Each structure stands twice: as structure tokens, then as C-alpha cells.
Amino acid sequence: MYTSFYAAARGVMAQQQRLDITANNLANISNYGYKTQSASFSDLMYYNLNNKNGQDTDMKAGTGVRIGQVNTDFTPSPYTETGGIYDYAIENQGFFRMINPTSGEITYTRNGHFSLSQQGNQFYLVNDAGNRVSDQNGNPITVTNGRLSGEIGVYTFNVKDGMLSVGNNEFAPTENNGEAVLVQDAKVVAHALEVSGVNMAEEMTKVIESQRAYSYALKMVQTSDEIVTTVNSLRQ
């Protein structure tokens, strides 16, 4: 009797999560190098319906849905010239490799908006989070008199699905992604940045779809609650 109530409640929560993901995409529509995220739904457990004698039948009923995975679309977007001294855009596939100067953690990003950070007598090429840009040998790039100590490295993975978003448009690889591979002959465009990958029309369509599904699921919750209340009142 309560199955419909819980299935509808899970649907409400799933659509709310999808709305949150879409809202985050829209909030980053002006952020350079941002990659659109989308929700993938997966079914929860199914069970067999019983006949009047209590025996299993071939008819199945579901128990709702949940967000199974949040996917990121790493398709390259166009770049725009900014004139920034340390702005860079990757023309095709790949990522900039970033090194956290404190923890040594390695992350990857498409956002090439860099600047200089001084430590002692050295100036490092860093992103907005202070992480250092790697060269093609995996070493942090230093800048002396406006010249980089090495060419900016562009790295990629054979499998990009499942990379973890760690904020600031940076991603951390998982075991499934394997080892990063240096992209040979990668083209890095100076004084330019890759625009956000968010498509306003597509995201607004998702908002409308989620709002409608949310309202339908919420109505189902209310209806299921009314049915349970009616049944309980008849039992008294």
C-alpha cells in the first residue's frame, strides 16, 4: 500500500537533484572552460506482483528511480580571444594538468585562465585556485622575464567518463579513467579562453521537464497519502 507513496517521494527527490544540476549549469554559463553536467537516472529494485492466491506472477512493479550518475560532457567548445597575457585555450581534446603546491594532488581542467604566483624568488604559472600548471614533463611551470620554463602540457584519458568534479572547473581521475597520457602535437592557443559549454536553450528545456515531472510526482505523493488516510479511517 505504501509502495506508490515511496516511489513518488523518490521521484520528487530525483527531480530536485536534476534541477540542482541544471541550475549549476546555468550559473556557470559565463565561466570559461566550464563543462556541462547531466543526470542519469537508474531504476530501483523491481518485485513480482502476486495473484489472488498469493503466488508470484510475471508482472513486475518498480519502487522508483534515483540519480545513478552525474555525467560531464567534455566536448571542446569554441574559444574567444581575450588578450590576457597568461590566458590559454586547448583547441581540441585534452586537459591542463594542475598540481596543488601544498598536497601535491593532481587535477585536470579546461579553464586556461592563469596568472603568476610568487614563492621565494620563483614565479609559478597558476590558476585561480593557486594550483600550478604542468609542462609536458609533468613539472610545474615557472616564469622568468615573461618566458615559460617549458611548454604547457596537454593531457587526456582513454576513458573520461566518471571523472570527479572537485570544484573550480577541475576534475580528478578515478581508477576507471586510467593514467593520463600526454597529447602529442596538441595545439594551445595563447591569449584566448574556451567559452562555457552550457547551451541555454537545452538547459531551460531540462528545467521545464524537471518542473513538470516534479509536480506530477508530488501530486502522486499527495494522492497516495490521501488513499492511505482513507484506508486507515475505514479500518477504524
Is 182 found in the same domain as 86? yes
Shared domain check, 205 and 185: no
Cα(11)–Cα(213) distance, rounded to whole angstroms?
Answer: 8
Same-domain check for residues 174 and 143: yes
* Digit-coded pLDDT (tens) for 223-236: 877 777 787 777 76
- Asked if 138 and 167 sit in the same domain, the reply is yes
Q: What type of residue is 51? A: N
Residue 110: the pLDDT is 96
83 and 188, same domain (yes or no): yes
d(C-alpha 224, C-alpha 222), whole Å: 6
What pLDDT shows up at residue 231?
A: 74
Q: What is the pLDDT of residue 218?
A: 84
Q: In this predicted model, which residue has the larger pLDDT, 139 or 44?
A: 139
Three cell numbers, residue 181: 597520457
Q: State how far the Cα of 5 lies from the Cα of 11, in Å rounded to an integer.
A: 10
**126 and 102 belong to one structural domain:** yes
171 & 85 share domain? yes
HEC readout, the chain: CCHHHHHHHHHHHHHHHHHHHHHHHHHCCCCCCCCCEEEEEEECCEEEEECCCCCEEEEEEECCEEEEEEEECCCCCCEEECCCCCEEEECCCCEEEEECCCCCCEEEECCCECEEEEECCEEEEECCCCCEEEECCCCECEEECCEECCCECEEECCCCCCCEEEECCEEECCHHHCCCEECCCCCEEECEEECCCCCHHHHHHHHHHHHHHHHHHHHHHHHHHHHHHHHHHHHC
The average pLDDT across 62-74 equals: 79
Q: Would the pLDDT of 25 be above 90?
A: yes
Residue 151 sits in the same domain as residue 175: yes
% of the chain residues with pLDDT over 70 = 88
Picking from 211, 235, 232, 228, the residue whose alpha carbon sits closest to that of residue 5 is 228
Residue 8's contacts (CB-CB under 8 Å, 6 or more residues apart) are 64, 217, 218, 220, 221, 224
**Tell me, what's the pLDDT at 44?**
58
- Give residue 228's domain range: 3-73+198-235
In this structure, the answer to whether residues 230 and 172 fall within a common structural domain is no
110 with 161, same domain: the answer is yes
Question: What are the C-alpha distances in Å from 113 to residues 81, 132, 161, 168, 205?
Answer: 12, 12, 24, 11, 30
Domain count, the chain: 2
Q: Are residues 34 and 22 in the same domain?
A: yes
Q: What is the pLDDT of residues 191-204, one digit of tens each?
A: 999 999 999 999 99
Give residue-wise pLDDT tens across range 131-169.
999 999 999 999 999 999 999 999 999 999 889 999 889
pTM of the model: 0.79
Do 109 and 179 reside in the same domain of the chain?
A: yes
CB 66, CB 184: distance < 8 Å: no
Per-residue pLDDT tens over the stretch 48-57: 555 556 566 6
